[in-house]
A = this chain, B = another copy of it.
Amino acid sequence: MSDERISEKVKNVQSSAIRELLKHSKMEGVISLGGGIPNPDLFDREGLQMAMDKVLSVSWKDAFQYGLSEGSPDLREAICQLLKQRLITCHPDDVVITSGSQQSLDMLARVLINPGDVIVVERPTYLAALQVFHLAEAQLASVGTDGEGMKVDELEELVKTTTIKAVYIVPTFGNPGGVTLSDERRKKLVALSKRYNFVIIEDDPYSEINFTDKLFKPLTAWAKEIDNSENVIYTSTFSKILAPGARVGWVVAPEWIKKQIVTLKQATDLHTSSLSQSLAYHYLQTGRLPDQLKIIRASYKDKCQVLCEEIERELGEHLTFHRPQGGMFLWAKFKYQKNTTDWLKKTLANGVVYVPGEFFYADNPDASTLRMSYVSVADENLRKAVARLKASLE
């Protein structure tokens, strides 16, 4: 028997390049700027232990039993509280708990997309979002980005002539681009959504990893101001601020789609781990998250600065980049034609890996780009990594 029995949709989905890269990153002596995983040294082990004590003493029956497909009412309530600080007003009934952002995206793709529907993504965009949109047989279109995020003017030109179903965007401290959509563009994007009646999927895993004092108001909040809430779906996760292994994310969605998300969630996996949900809830109840976020922000900000400065000093004549205001990723581009996928073989031989940029494009990949993550790498290794990249140019 061969692969002929595999469904056509799935056959076309490739295992991500990052998965392959992670193999390299675990080779002895190789410094990896490739991963997208939080720094485990910053997990709040003590707080998580305290929360688990509560789970097992107070909530064990719920934590071990089947639960509601939409998620635990306690946790949904706590998420609404959390979102207030992000300037989002919502009700627990608007929230569906998912098994992380990836599942949020897969479910949204399945609920929204009929084959051929046009989904607009950024150039570059989140790789695993491309996977789920392909699985749903969407037709992808892309809009460029610069230091202020998605070029919304370009989007406007597109929607004037093309009916689109949705725009998928990571507006704040994007992955992989590392850039943040300006307020002006945020306003314009939600206005376009209202005018041309398309959905915005606002993917926001990183906004708490903020290196600045500015609060970047979510598209969801902007939409509310112009009475366009019906068109904006917000997703976020505990993966970057608490513990990715728990696999707890969420969607905030208007009623017309929320009911179908819950129905699909039930068919997909009944509900997200009650144990993980209970852990997240009791962790939030400890009140430790704000201090924990300060620790994460300070550490990632420092590491980001080290990497940026090192690249400017050592590779400034070769690479250009926008300095991130938050998040986990630095996106850089060669100032001249260079294929970073080919170059990877050389840098690997010199003991450093990154993710070649071309994988992050729905179309017209720019092969001279690369994504680097700084968050899990010791400062001295960030410096070594840049030195090794430099050596690989010779």
Residues of A whose CB lies within 8 Å of any CB of B are: 1-3, 5-11, 13-16, 19, 37-38, 40, 43, 45, 48-49, 52, 56, 60-67, 69, 98-100, 102-103, 106, 110-114, 128, 131-132, 135-136, 165, 197, 199, 230-231, 239, 243-247, 254, 256-257, 259-260, 262-264, 266-276, 279
Cβ–Cβ contact B256 & A199, under 8 A: no
Cβ–Cβ contact A245 & B63, under 8 A: yes
| A262 neighbours in B (Cβ, 8 Å) | 15
CA–CA, A9 to B113, complex, Å? 9
Q: How far is the CB of A17 from chain B (nearest CB, A)?
A: 12
| A45 neighbours in B (Cβ, 8 Å) | 60
Do A64 and B37 contact each other (CB < 8 Å), given the known contacts A1-B256, A111-B6, A267-B102? no
Cβ–Cβ contact B245 & A65, under 8 A: yes
Do A256 and B102 contact each other (CB < 8 Å), given the known contacts A37-B66, A62-B245, A275-B276? no
Do A132 and B1 contact each other (CB < 8 Å), given the known contacts A7-B113, A112-B7? no
Cβ–Cβ contact B269 & A247, under 8 A: yes
Q: How far is the CB of A12 from chain B (nearest CB, A)?
A: 10
Q: How far is the CB of A127 from chain B (nearest CB, A)?
A: 10
How many chain copies?
Answer: 2
Residue from the list B7, B69, B102, B231 in contact with A269, Cβ < 8 A: B102
Cβ–Cβ contact B64 & A243, under 8 A: yes
CA–CA, A63 to B48, complex, Å? 11
| A263 neighbours in B (Cβ, 8 Å) | 10, 13-15
Q: By CB atoms of chain B within 10 A, which of A14, A246, A268 has the most?
A: A268
CA–CA, A7 to B257, complex, Å? 10
CA–CA, A294 to B188, complex, Å? 64
Cβ–Cβ contact B267 & A13, under 8 A: yes
Tell me the nearest residue of chain B to A1, going by C-beta: B230
| A40 neighbours in B (Cβ, 8 Å) | 61, 64-65
Residue from the list B245, B271, B274 in contact with A274, Cβ < 8 A: B245
| A69 neighbours in B (Cβ, 8 Å) | 19
A-B contact pairs, 15 of them (CB 8 A): A1-B197, A7-B114, A9-B110, A10-B110, A10-B264, A11-B260, A40-B65, A43-B60, A67-B245, A99-B247, A103-B268, A132-B267, A243-B275, A244-B274, A275-B276
Cβ–Cβ contact A267 & B106, under 8 A: yes
Tell me the nearest residue of chain B to A39, going by C-beta: B65
Cβ–Cβ contact A100 & B270, under 8 A: yes
Q: How far is the CB of A116 from chain B (nearest CB, A)?
A: 11
Q: How far is the CB of A358 from chain B (nearest CB, A)?
A: 19
| A13 neighbours in B (Cβ, 8 Å) | 263-264, 267
Do A16 and B266 contact each other (CB < 8 Å), given the known contacts A62-B245, A65-B243? yes
Do A247 and B267 contact each other (CB < 8 Å), given the known contacts A114-B8, A256-B3? no
CA–CA, A257 to B49, complex, Å? 39
CA–CA, A359 to B276, complex, Å? 32
Tell me the nearest residue of chain B to A254, going by C-beta: B1
Do A269 and B103 contact each other (CB < 8 Å), given the known contacts A65-B40, A111-B10, A260-B6? yes
